[in-house]
Each structure stands twice: as C-alpha cells, then as structure tokens.
Amino acid sequence: MPATAFSRRGQTTPARREARRFYVFVSPWAIGFVLFSGVPIVASILMSFTHWNLLRDPTWVGLANYQKMIADPEFWESIVNTFYFGAGSVALGVVFTFLLALLLNQPLRFQGLFRTVMYLPSVVSGVATALLWLNILHPDYGLINKLLALIGVQGPGWLGTMEWAMPALILMSVWGAGNTIIIYLAGLQGIPKTLYEAAEIDGAGWWRRFWNVTVPMMSPVIFFNVVTGFIASLQAYVLILIMTEGGPANATMVLGLYIYRHAFTYFDMGYAAALSWAMFLIVIAVTLIQFRLARRWVHYEFK
Amino acid sequence: MDMNAMSRRDLLAAITMTAAAVPMLTACGGDTRQRPQSQVTGPVKSGVPALDANRPGNDTWPFDEAETLNNSLTWPKTDVPDPASKVALSVAITADVVAEVRNAQFDFFFKQRHPNIEIRRETSPFDQYLTKYMAQAAGGGLPDVMYTHYSWAQNFIANDVFQPLDEYVARTPSFDKEDLPANALGYFERDGKLYGLPTDLAPKMLFYNKSIFDTAKMDYPDDSWTVEQMLAAAAKLTSGSGASKIYGFTPMLLLEADISARGLMQYGGRFLNADESQVLLGEPAAQKVLGMWLDALHKDESMPSIAELNQVLEKVEPFKIGKAAMTINGAWIMTELAKQDAFEWGATHTPKGPEGRFTPAIGSALAMSAGSQHKEAAWIYLNEYLSSTGQQFRRISAPARQSAWLPNAEALGIPKDVIEACQTAMKEYASSEGVMKLPASKKVVETAKPIWERTLIGKSDLRSALRELTDKVTPILAENRIS
C-alpha cells in the first residue's frame, strides 16, 4: 500500500485530515460569529426599516427611518461633533503616544518601570477614568485649572462650557493610550540599526535620522494606529455619556451617543438601527479614504 | 487547481474581512457601560451583603427588630385565595442596598404568611431597570410583579403590558383607596382603570439650610412666601466664590417633566397643555416666569450655572452638601437629610404665585404584568407590600399610603412639623396635574434640554429659544396620541 492514499477527488488523506482539522478549529469562532454577530447584523438591517418600541411587534415603515435621519438636524450636528472628536483625539493621540513611545524606547535606567507606568491608565475601568477626569477638569478644584492658575491663567469651565467641553474630552481620550504606545514600541524596535548607521555615515543629525528614517519606517504602524484610532473614536460614547451626557447644549453629542439615546432612552429601535448603519457607512467611507491617502505617505519596506 | 485549498483560503479571507467589520458594526449598537445584570433567583442580590436566609438582617435592619415589628403589625387580608400549590412569583424592583435588606425581610415574613408563594425578587439599579425590562418585554417574558416609575407607566399601559387591578381591589374589602392620594394616582390610571399601586408618592417641598439662614440673620421661609420673595432671599443668601461659594438656591429651573407644577403654574403658565398635545411655553405667562428665573441665574448669580452644576464633585446636589441655602426637592430626600449632621435643615410649603400654590407629587408604583401566570398570588403580594402596614414595615420616608407617613417619620427621625407640611401639601395642592406622563415625555424633555441650556449659558435669548423649542417639540407630541 502506498504511503499516501488518494481519495476519489484526488485529495490525499493527510490533506483531507488537515481540512477536517481546519474546519473543527475554525468552527467555534464561525458559529459564534454567525449566532452572536451575523444574525444581529442582519436583524439590524431589517430593524432599520421598521418602527419598533420593544413593547409591540415591529411595523414595517420602509425607508421612513432613513428619510427622518436625513431631515434630522441633530443627526447632522452629531456627525459634526463626531468628526471633531475623532480628528482631535486621533491627531493628539497619534502624536502624543508616538512621542511617548520614542522616549520609552531610549535605553534608560528603569525603562521597564516607565513603560509600566505609562501602560497603567489602560487598565483603569472606564467609569473610574470618567470620575477621575471629572475631578481633573473641575473648574474650581481641578488639577488642570490649578496648574493654569500657577502661571496666571484662569482656566475655563471645561465640561460645562460649549467651547471647551469637546477639547476636554479630546484631552481625556489620550489617557489610556497604552496599547497604542506598545504598538509603536514594537515598531520602533523593528527598525534595523543599519539604517541609522548608514544615515549617520551620510552625516544625518538626530532630526534627519528621525524624519528620514524613523518616520518612514514607522509609517505603516502610524497608519494602523490612525485607522484603528479613528474607527474607535467615531464609535466612542461611553465616557462621553458618563461625563457630559452629550451636553452642554449638545456640544458633545456624538453619533454613538445619539444612537444610544434613541435605542435605550427613547426605545426607538428602528431609528437607532438606521443611525447605526449610517455610522457603519461613515466608518467604511473614512477608512477607505484613509487607505487611499495612505498611498502618498505610508512606506512599506517589503511590497 | 486544488479547489479544496482555494475554498479554505476564500473562507479565511471572508472571515478576516468580516472580523474587521464586526467591531464596527457591533460597536454601533452595543452598550458596554451597562452590562447585563445576572438574574438572581434567591432573596440575596449582588451589592447586598450575604444575608442569613433564616434570619435576614444587618446592622441597619436587625432581624429581631424586623420580627418584632412584623408581629406588631396587622397585615391586610383579601378575598383573593392563596394558590393551592406552590407558585414562584417573580418580582422586579429597583432598590438601594439598604432597602434591599428590608425587602428581603419582607419576603421572609411574607413567605411565613403565604407558604405556597415563593418570591423571586430581581433587584436592578434604577438606571438599568428600564432597559433591562424593555428588552425582556421584547423577548415576551416579564416578571409577575414589576416596578414602574411614574413617567413610564402610561407607555406600559398603552402597550397593554400591565393588568388592570380594579377586579382585585373589588375582591379586597379592606383595601383603603382613600388612603392613597387621589390627586396623584393619574400616572397609573387610564380610562377609569387602575394599573399600578403606588409605592411612594411625595410632593416637592421647599427645603432650607437653617445654618445659612442663621448666619445671614434672615427668617426661615414659611408658607407665606411667594416665588419673588424666595428668589430675592436667594440673592441675599448667595456669598463667596469658586469652591467656597454658597448659592442662595439650587437648582435652576430646568425644562423637566414637572416644570409646570414646579414653577410655571404659579403664574398661569405651562410647558404643555393638559393632554400633552400642545406646547404652551411660548405664551406670555410662561415667558414671564422663565425670564424671572433667568435673571436670578444671570444677574443675581444665586444659582449654580450649568458649568458649576455639571461639575459639582461626583455630581452631588449642592444643597445636600451644605452649599446652597434652599432647594425645591422631593420629600424623599428627608431620609438622607435626617442622617447627616453637617447642617440643620427644615422644610416648608413651596412658594406661591399670583395664580396660587402648586407642586408636583411624583413617585413610583408596582404593577402586575398582563401576561402573568400567577395573577392572584401577584395581587396578594401587591396588596401586602403596598398596604399601609407594608409601607410601615419598610419604613420608607415618603410612603404613598398617607397613614404610614407619621409612624415612618418617627422611626426615621424626621421632624414632625416637616411631615405635617408634606401631608398638608398632599391633601391641598400637590398633584400629578402639570406633570408630563405620556409616552413622548422623555423625548420632549431631552429635545428641550439643549435649547434651554443654550439660554442658560447665554448663547440664546429667551424668546428665540422658546420659539425653537416650540417648533421642535410640537411634532414629537404626536407620539402622545395613544390609540
């Protein structure tokens, strides 16, 4: 008998065995996905064409929820706020965490301790973070305004003012960026030292080495953090719900919170589902644009 | 071409793509803040210290005290018979940790009186309760007995979630409906039928900090005060700045469900008309009174601004921490005030206006699910839990049963004069009149909120804000038409 048996379809026995194992291992995830994500996703599409208050059977309303959405000024207001928050938090987060990662990549004593300290905020729960920042941003007792007072600046009312509430949330969003720092650190450690040595031989100073070696080599990592950060910030609402509930005067009403309000305050599930699909399309569109723009600035070492 | 290998690759590609899409989609609808609470079937719930099932109690509510009280009370009877065999009655309520111990004791003694009724109490935090049971309603199964806030009841009733109780009331000769405040039962009634038995129904009263009045050498407020007098006193009592500021009054008049009774009807104004189908805020009477309150906020600075109010540490109401001289609040805060000794306090009638004295009487109820399989057992539970005896046993500070006020106040250390003022208010002028209760209430309030906040911040003038508010709220009121 030959070592390798062939089936009727020409497959070897090991290949069929491998295929079986593949399906066995992938099936828990696939089944879980279909049941707990796939079905709700399909259900949410159908739901978006209905009026459903949870207490009665859904009634089919066709495109009414989408028409209502397009005519809803608060929806557009929430879109503007969402992009404000998204752009602000990603820009600040990417720059700040990249700089922190550069510092943490230096061969210093207690490097491990510094890295741990920087990561610690990431393990603090969301509610605790919100309470902490409510106190940090307090106009009278808050740390930030106390520090500003030391240099003679009267701090704003932060979360209580229309102008400063969103900047305050953007500032807070940088907190807990430990995961991003870890990704940057991994990227920084993957840059070949030979590139820096070559640059040095060519007479490049620290800025040239940073700008012409570090940044291009890190561009795929930066791009990853920009894309995932933007998606996360477009969906963010939990901390905003706790801290401002969308106020004052809707100044921090982001789309995620607007969806939450329609779903779990008004129990208008059809409209909330329509809003969710609008958010999904926005996320997809923004991500596609980012991928298109990435061709101009992201450098891949291997293609 | 190896078709098998290709299909696996395709599958992997599909999985990768969907895996990337899932976080986006699921995050669109998921609420990570409110994790579902486990359905506990025993008498002890998370957040409550483990209680001895045979002698439930703790330092606040010792078992011996509960047993003595239980034995001293006469529990009401009903002609509705006990079940012939054992039934498990699910009861969904919202309660804090302290009240939960008392509830466990109530259930313990209830079981002794009704051995065939096993109580399965599900206690949820107030802010999670509605979401939890709305979702459960969508799934088709609700508890036999469930809590309802006054503002939710009409929505549940309109959607046939609650069972009318009149038949059971009729079979309970000792049921004393006169002991319930008729002027505040409207939240739980529809078409002449009663759908819920109130647990607490209390008026909003004018509370004051005696220490601040004494320091300012001013007389305490009394029932002769008008709204103008109150606002003038608030201006005089305001002092300090920043962290040490003492406000004359808190909070500013907000466009909430009870604003008409709380601040507008005294001048002949209202937020909505009586059947909640029309916005009346733009009318001169409402404009006048809102302008008066805005002056107190902007000119006198006698109330916390939105910025200050939103950022009081841990969002504690300034009056409760001694940082405001007066507040108009529900009588239920008496329990909390009675426990603190940071300042002396008192309470009196809300101030009157040219059109008289008004105050909202609001509270909650327990109702029986229309789909309950154990309606008779549910009634037996409701009848006892919400009887005067039951409310005295539970020692709540603002019981719906008027006969329970004094004994409870005495047990809780609440001054008798305050209780008498509350009872007078309930008899004479507190009511559900002017309090929004129909299904669109929440949407009306949330729509009005940012517009009113812009006015409070000074970004919009009163007249244009009220015009915008009328335009935006009017279409929403169509949702109040209950077919």
How far is the C-alpha of A182 from the C-alpha of A102, rounded, in Å? 11
- Whether a cis peptide bond, with omega within 30° of 0, leads into A40 is no
* pLDDT for res B243: 76
A38 and A70 assigned to the same domain: no
Q: Could you tell me which residue, A166 or B412, shows the higher pLDDT?
A: A166
Of A19, A248, A277, the CB nearest to B453: A248
Interface of B with A in 431-470 (CB under 8 A): 442-443, 446, 449-451, 453-454, 457, 459
Of A38, A265, A280, the CB nearest to B24: A280
Of A41, A238, A247, the CB nearest to B25: A41
Query: Please, what sign has the CA dihedral across residues B251, B253, B255, B261?
Result: positive
A40 and A68 assigned to the same domain: no
**Chain A residues lying within 8 Å of B137, measured CB to CB:** 54-55
How far is the C-alpha of A154 from the C-alpha of A162, rounded, in Å? 17
**B81 to B109, B115, B116, B462: CA distances (angstroms):** 18, 13, 11, 59
**Chain A residues lying within 8 Å of B314, measured CB to CB:** 131, 134
Q: Could you tell me which residue, B140 or B295, shows the higher pLDDT?
A: B295
- In a domain, residue A55? The reply is no
A83 and A222 assigned to the same domain: yes
- In a domain, residue A302? The reply is no
pLDDT at B22 over 60: no
Query: Would you state the structure tokens that stand for residue A126, as one six-digit string?
Result: 């969301």
CA-based nearest residue in chain A for residue B452: A249
Query: Would you state the structure tokens that stand for residue A165, as one six-digit string?
Result: 């509430």
* pLDDT for res B37: 30
* pLDDT for res A135: 85
Number of domains chain A is built from: 2
| Run of H or E including B65 | helix B63-72
Could you please report the per-residue DSSP string of A181-227?
HHHHHHHHHTS-HHHHHHHHHTT--HHHHIIIIIHHHHHHHHHHHHH
pLDDT tens, residue by residue, B272-306: 999 999 999 999 999 999 999 999 999 999 998 88
| Cβ–Cβ under 8 Å, residues B453 and A249 | yes
In one-letter notation, the amino acid at residue B16 is T
Of B25, B446, B457, the CB nearest to A261: B446
- In a domain, residue A234? The reply is yes
Asked if B306 reaches chain A (Cβ–Cβ under 8 Å), the answer is: yes
**Chain A residues lying within 8 Å of B153, measured CB to CB:** none
Asked if B24 reaches chain A (Cβ–Cβ under 8 Å), the answer is: yes
Which residue range(s) make up the domain with A80?
64-297
Q: How many residues does chain B have?
A: 483
A233 and A260 assigned to the same domain: yes
CA-based nearest residue in chain A for residue B460: A249
Could you please report the per-residue DSSP string of A4-50?
S-B-TTS-BHHHHHHHHHHHHHHHHHHHHHIIIIIHHHHHHHHHTTE
* pLDDT for res A130: 85
Radius of gyration of chain B (CA): 25
Cβ burial of B326 (10 Å; 0-12, 13-18, 19+) is buried
**Chain A residues lying within 8 Å of B468, measured CB to CB:** none
- In a domain, residue A250? The reply is yes
Q: Phi/psi at B190 (nearest 5 deg)? A: -160, 135
A204 and A87 assigned to the same domain: yes
Among A252, A238, A234, A31, residue whose Cα is nearest residue A162:
A252
A19 and A77 assigned to the same domain: no
Query: Please, what sign has the CA dihedral across residues B24, B26, B29, B30?
Result: negative
> What CATH number should be reported for the domain holding residue A79?
1.10.3720.10
**Chain A residues lying within 8 Å of B243, measured CB to CB:** 140-141
* pLDDT for res A298: 86
A8 and A150 assigned to the same domain: no
A34 and A177 assigned to the same domain: no
Check A55 against B161: CB less than 8 A apart: yes
On whether ipTM exceeds 0.90, the answer is no
Mutate to test the interface with A, among B24, B247, B308 (most CBs of A within 10 A): B24
Tell me the nearest-neighbour CA distance from A140 into chain B, angstroms.
6
Asked if B1 reaches chain A (Cβ–Cβ under 8 Å), the answer is: no
| Cβ–Cβ under 8 Å, residues B202 and B398 | yes
- In a domain, residue A57? The reply is no
Mean pLDDT of the region A180-197: 92
Check A55 against B8: CB less than 8 A apart: no
| Cβ–Cβ under 8 Å, residues B328 and B251 | no
- In a domain, residue A59? The reply is no
How far is the C-alpha of B381 from the C-alpha of A129, rounded, in Å? 42
pTM of the predicted structure, to 2 decimals = 0.85
A253 and A222 assigned to the same domain: yes
pLDDT at A177 over 50: yes
pLDDT at B198 over 70: yes
pLDDT at B242 over 60: yes
* pLDDT for res B49: 63
Q: Please state, rounded to an integer, the average pLDDT across all residues of chain B.
A: 87
* pLDDT for res B18: 44
**Chain B residues lying within 8 Å of A38, measured CB to CB:** 18
- In a domain, residue A181? The reply is yes
Q: How far is CA B160 from the centre of its chain?
A: 22
Interface of B with A in 230-259 (CB under 8 A): 242-243
Cβ burial of B334 (10 Å; 0-12, 13-18, 19+) is buried
**What residues pair up with A51 in beta bridges, in sequence order?**
A59
Lowest-confidence pick of A235-239, B105-109, B268-272: A235-239
pLDDT tens, residue by residue, A36-87: 999 999 999 999 999 999 999 999 999 999 999 999 999 999 999 999 999 9
pLDDT at A197 over 50: yes
CA-based nearest residue in chain B for residue A18: B5
A43 and A129 assigned to the same domain: no
A-B CB pairs within 8 A amount to: 139
Among B483, B408, B406, B409, residue whose Cα is nearest residue B439:
B483
Asked if B35 reaches chain A (Cβ–Cβ under 8 Å), the answer is: no
Tell me the nearest-neighbour CA distance from B307 into chain A, angstroms.
3
| Run of H or E including B391 | helix B388-394
Of A22, A29, A241, the CB nearest to B33: A241
Could you please report the per-residue DSSP string of B167-232?
HHHHT-TT--GGGS-GGGGGGGEETTEE-EEEEEEEEEEEEEEHHHHHHTT-PPP-TT-BHHHHHH
Q: Please state, rounded to an integer, the average pLDDT across all residues of chain A.
A: 90
How far is the C-alpha of B352 from the C-alpha of B189, rounded, in Å? 28
| Cβ–Cβ under 8 Å, residues B93 and B366 | yes
pLDDT tens, residue by residue, B157-174: 999 999 999 999 999 999
Backbone φ/ψ region at A98: left (φ over 0), alpha (ψ -120 to 50), beta:
alpha
pLDDT tens, residue by residue, B346-399: 999 999 999 999 999 999 999 999 999 999 999 999 999 999 999 999 998 889
**Chain B residues lying within 8 Å of A264, measured CB to CB:** 31, 34, 131
Q: Could you tell me which residue, A254 or B338, shows the higher pLDDT?
A: A254
* pLDDT for res B384: 96
A147 and A232 assigned to the same domain: yes
**CB-CB neighbours of B240 under 10 Å:** 10
- Which positions ≥6 away from B373 have C-beta within 8 Å? B144
**CB-CB neighbours of B354 under 10 Å:** 11
* pLDDT for res A8: 56
Check B33 against A127: CB less than 8 A apart: yes
- Percentage of chain B beyond pLDDT 70 is 88
Of A41, A140, A279, the CB nearest to B243: A140
Of A139, A235, A272, the CB nearest to B27: A235
pLDDT tens, residue by residue, A124-158: 887 888 888 888 888 877 899 999 999 999 888 88
pLDDT at B31 over 70: no
Query: Would you state the structure tokens that stand for residue A101, as one six-digit string?
Result: 């990662």
- In a domain, residue A52? The reply is no
A40 and A149 assigned to the same domain: no
Q: How far is CA A277 from the centre of its chain?
A: 18
Cα atoms in the Cβ-side hemisphere of radius 13 Å centred on A199:
17
Check B24 against A231: CB less than 8 A apart: yes
Mean pLDDT of the region A284-290: 94
Mutate to test the interface with B, among A25, A68, A264 (most CBs of B within 10 A): A264
* pLDDT band at residue B140 under the 50/70/90 scheme: confident
